[in-house]
A = this chain, B = another copy of it.
Amino acid sequence: MSLAMSRNDLAEYMAQIFPQVHRDFVIEELHEDSIVMRLVVEDRHLRPGGTVSGPSMFGLADVSVYALILARKGRLSLAVTTNSSLDFLRKPLGGKDMIAHCRMLKLGRSLAVGDVLMFSEGSDKPVARATMTYSLPPEGSAAAAFG
């Protein structure tokens, strides 16, 4: 097990493939089996009341696991989210970025599973927990991406 991309390579590649949103996400740490990803919280990530919205937390979890798959499998890897579960545990702190700690639980031939704990920056109480499953189609078979 080793990384196919460095943190810099991964950040550059994500900027290419996610031109609309890559500024929202900053890779804080990258290890072989884990990644720490920051969501730079802007107004568009908030829900009424001023805290980070559910879709924004879903997006953070999804991007975190996907980035770790890319770092391990390399550019051009196909991966499609097939399942997710999320638990919303506490109200996020207002005015704080969200920090996601993601572990790879399985990186198989056809499925990858990562879990994610999300925190408001500066707090050690988790705001949300997520697990994301990805289908990894055989190289070149985009048609197979949805299983």
Contacts and interface: CB of A to CB of B under 8 A. Distances in A.
In this complex, the interface size class of chain A, counting residues with CB under 8 Å from chain B, is: 35 or more
Given A18-B48, A82-B87, A110 B55 contact: no
Integer count of this chain's copies in the complex: 4
Given A109-B144, A146-B89, A147-B106, A133 B82 contact: yes
Interface in A121-147: 126, 129, 131, 133, 135, 144-147
Nearest to A107: B147
Nearest to A133: B83
A11 interface: no
A27 interface: no
A76 interface: no
A75 interface: no
A77 interface: no
Interface of A: 17-19, 48, 53-56, 58-59, 62, 80-91, 105-106, 108-111, 113, 115, 117, 126, 129, 131, 133, 135, 144-147
